[in-house]
Amino acid sequence: MTPYKAPLRDMRFQMNEVFDYPAHYASLPNGADATPDIVDAILEGAAELSEDILAPLNMSGDREGCHFTDGAVSTPAGFKEAYAQFVAGGWQGLSFPTEYGGQGLPASVSVFKSEMMGTANWSFNMYPGLSIGCINTLLQYGTEAQKSQYLPPLVSGQWTGTMCLTEAHCGTDLGQIRARAEPQPDGSFRVTGTKVFISSGEHDLAENIIHIVLARLPGAPAGTRGISLFIVPRMNVNADGSLGERNTVRCGSIEHKMGIRASATAVLNFEAAAASMIGEPNKGLEAMFTFMNTARIGTAIQGIAHAEASFQCALPYALERRSMRALSGKKEPEQAADALIWHPDVRRMLLTQKAIAEGGRAMIYGAAQLADKLFSAASDGVPARHEELEDTLGFYTPILKGFLTEMGLEAANLGMQVFGGHGYIPENGMEQIARDARIATLYEGTTGIQALDLLGRKVLLGSKGRCVREFTATMWRLSRKHLFAAGSIGKMARTLAARAIQWNLLTTRIMLRAGKDRELVGSASFDYLMYSGYVMMAYFWALQAARAAELSASGRGKDSKDFYRAKVQTAAFYFERILPRADAHRVGALAPAWTVMQIDKDHFALK
């Protein structure tokens, strides 16, 4: 397997030259410390940990998996030491408030770190990754006492966190959960029930695990309006923060999974476990959405992580492995055959991977700037600005999570394909990347659920198409600048302008039809999500290409002309070869609902 190399060159291009992160940080109240030198040192440090410590444990972790013995879980060899290094480096606290021991940097700094660490070893990344949502939930909904009791060790990484939503009979439809919480005379609670598929639910990396658990109070209304949120520590915590006795939450087993095998996925049995409520009674699901939104953007990173990892392995293989001669004549006549990279179809696969990894990175970095602004608007106390940013990020989230994880899966599969049969055996690591990538479209809300969230909640009900109008206005502003440019930049600008109009028309047509056909939203949603993803990625590719062309022409760029030319060429590949898929999704999204609903459920398979 090719050793992982953090893609710092592309990351720096995007951060500094496309999104101007230095100016962005300078404009944030908590951005003063995120100077270019500091951010660069963080990138270098995260790259080193990812390349030297985490990546070498990726394959061994997959082979060994986690071990379960009598309720205890041990992680694969090397994970404990790597996690200790992660904690010692202060990596968990990068973007959390200084009052709880963090470094108070903007949230995006953590995104850059997570991208590298997750690409190096997604299983490892799951342990600190789940804590991020737990910390954010406590920050937003915890009482002062809860914050001071739980946040410092979570922020340092000494403890980790989980999200305990899923039960055996329900994952998507959390309105069905049965776990219950009994109030105690002292104001605390006792939680009873079983949660399944809990990532990092039990392990040996940290001395305590803080479970954030959804459960029902006695007499709570049925469905989603009767769910409350609780903190259940694995080890009880004394008022002074020291550890008390073991709480009655026990790991019943861990799953044997297709991928991310070094990440422990636990069945947790809560047996009247001591708990405290977080947030208001029966408003738990609302609070949990904070958790889920953070986690969803975190999972979107998984899409680009696996695309990048798979591309990094496939490219050197395509340069070295030889097969037949190029169609246009011998390219390496001194060799017995030409390298795979001379074959157009292999190039198609490599370019698709590259376009997904770098285009997805741009989408995430664009969204990460919004997240920074959102967090600072929350502390500014300007509710209107906060609401506006929340809506915009809320529109991005299902597209990022749904589209990028589907695309990551495609890229991971293409990497295997470049290796031919050698991709299908474990020695080269390609099948592991494909197995690890598979979960991303399932957890944190399946693609189908992201699609419903996008079309139903965010576009139709929540904004009556406003979020699409706003995003397409941004597309139009970019395309307008380059409409008459020569060559591929002008062509991309004109295509982008046409797509901006088309996206609005598509949305309006669905909106009009949805009023008459109740099934339409569900029937159109997946295609609408994918259409939106392809068009959004086109904007972010056009942005990169336009910037690369400008920097190359002006000579003011920090990178080489070859780098900028390759950017424009990859963007052109995206526009010519990948973006047209949006047309098929547009047709699918406009197809009437009867196309899926007319067949009788008993006629799917007639005996």
Ligand X SMILES: Cc1cc2nc3c(=O)[nH]c(=O)nc-3n(C[C@H](O)[C@H](O)[C@H](O)COP(=O)(O)OP(=O)(O)OC[C@H]3O[C@@H](n4cnc5c(N)ncnc54)[C@H](O)[C@@H]3O)c2cc1C
Contact stretch for ligand X (CB under 6 A) within 34-42, 74-82, 156-164, 238-246: 156-164
Q: How far apart are CA 544 and CA 18, in angstroms?
A: 6
When the beta carbons of 83 and 443 are compared against ligand X, the nearer one is 443
**SS3 of residue 517 by DSSP:** coil
Shortest Å, Cβ 223 to ligand X = 13
- 21 binds ligand X per the rule CB under 6 A: no
* Binding-site member from 147, 257, 354, 547 for ligand X (CB under 6 A): 257
CB closer to ligand X out of 448 and 462: 448
Cβ-based nearer residue to ligand X, 302 or 312: 302
Which two tokens mark 204? 């040996």
| Per-residue burial over 82-121, b = 16 or more CB atoms within 10 Å of its CB, e = otherwise | bbeebbebebbbbbbbeebbbbbbbbbbbbbbbbbbbbbb
SS3 231: strand
| Options 95, 265, 392, 397; binder of ligand X; rule CB under 6 A | 265
Q: Could you say which residues in the range 414-453 bind ligand X, by CB under 6 A? A: 439, 442-443, 445-446, 448-449, 452
Q: Which is nearer to ligand X, 175 or 420 (CB)?
A: 175
C-alpha 477/C-alpha 91 separation (Å) is 38
Burial of 589 (0-12, 13-18, 19+ CB in 10 A): buried
- Residue 189 token pair: 């609670």
Please tell me the distance from the alpha carbon of residue 220 to that of residue 471, in angstroms, as a whole number: 40
Of the candidates 468, 460, 482, the residue with the CA atom closest to the CA atom of residue 533: 468
Q: What is the 3-state secondary structure (H, E, C) of 347-384?
A: HHHHHHHHHHHHHHHHHHHHHHHHHHHHHHHHHHCCHH
Question: One of 81, 387, 444, 550 is an active-site residue; which one?
Answer: 444
- Measured from the CB atom, the residue of 124 and 342 that comes closer to ligand X is 124
Count of residues interacting with ligand X (CB under 6 A): 21
Q: Which is nearer to ligand X, 30 or 293 (CB)?
A: 293
Alpha-helix residue ranges (DSSP H) falling in 75-170: 79-88, 107-120, 122-141, 144-156
Q: Report the nearest approach of ligand X to the CB of residue 173 (Å).
A: 6
Integer CA distances (angstroms), 75 to 79, 89, 128, 299, in order: 6, 20, 14, 21
Strand partners, 231: 212, 276
Residues from 331 through 360 that contact ligand X (CB under 6 A): none
| Shortest distance in whole angstroms from residue 172 CB to ligand X | 3
Per-residue string for binding with ligand X, 571-600, x by CB under 6 A? ------------------------------
Nearer to ligand X, 24 or 211 (CB): 211
**550 flagged as catalytic:** no
The residues in 160-219 that bind ligand X, with binding defined as CB under 6 A, are 162-166, 170-172, 197-199
Contact 548, 568 (CB under 8 A): yes
Give the nearer residue to ligand X in terms of CB position, either 448 or 490: 448
Please, what is the minimum distance in Å from the beta carbon of residue 284 to ligand X?
A: 13
Residue among 407, 333, 418 nearest 364 (CA): 407
CA distances, 103 to each of 4, 79, 91 (Å): 27, 24, 9
- As measured in angstroms, the least distance from the Cβ of 212 to ligand X is 9
Q: How far is the CB of 561 from ligand X (least distance, A)?
A: 44
Pairwise CA distance, residues 246 & 209, whole Å: 11
Compute the least distance from the CB of residue 589 to ligand X, in Å. 15
User: Nearest-CB residue to ligand X?
Assistant: 171
Q: Tell me how far, at minimum, the Cβ of 300 lies from ligand X, in Å.
A: 15
3-state secondary structure (DSSP) of residue 242: coil
- The residue among 314 and 452 lying less far from ligand X, judged by its C-beta, is 452
Closest CA to 364 of 309, 312, 408: 408
CB 11 within 8 A of CB 50: no
Q: Give 171 or 233: the residue with its C-beta nearer to ligand X.
A: 171
The closest alpha carbon to 128, from 148, 153, 104, belongs to 153
Inter-CA distances, 374 with 92, 378, 403, Å: 20, 6, 23
Calculate Rg over the CA atoms of the chain: 24
| Minimum CB distance to ligand X, residue 455 (Å) | 12
Q: Which residues contact 442 (CB under 8 A, 6 or more apart)?
A: none
As measured in angstroms, the least distance from the Cβ of 66 to ligand X is 12
Decide: helix, strand or coil at residue 186: coil
Question: Which residues contact ligand X by CB under 6 A?
Answer: 162-166, 170-172, 197-199, 257, 265, 439, 442-443, 445-446, 448-449, 452
**Annotated catalytic sites, by residue?**
444
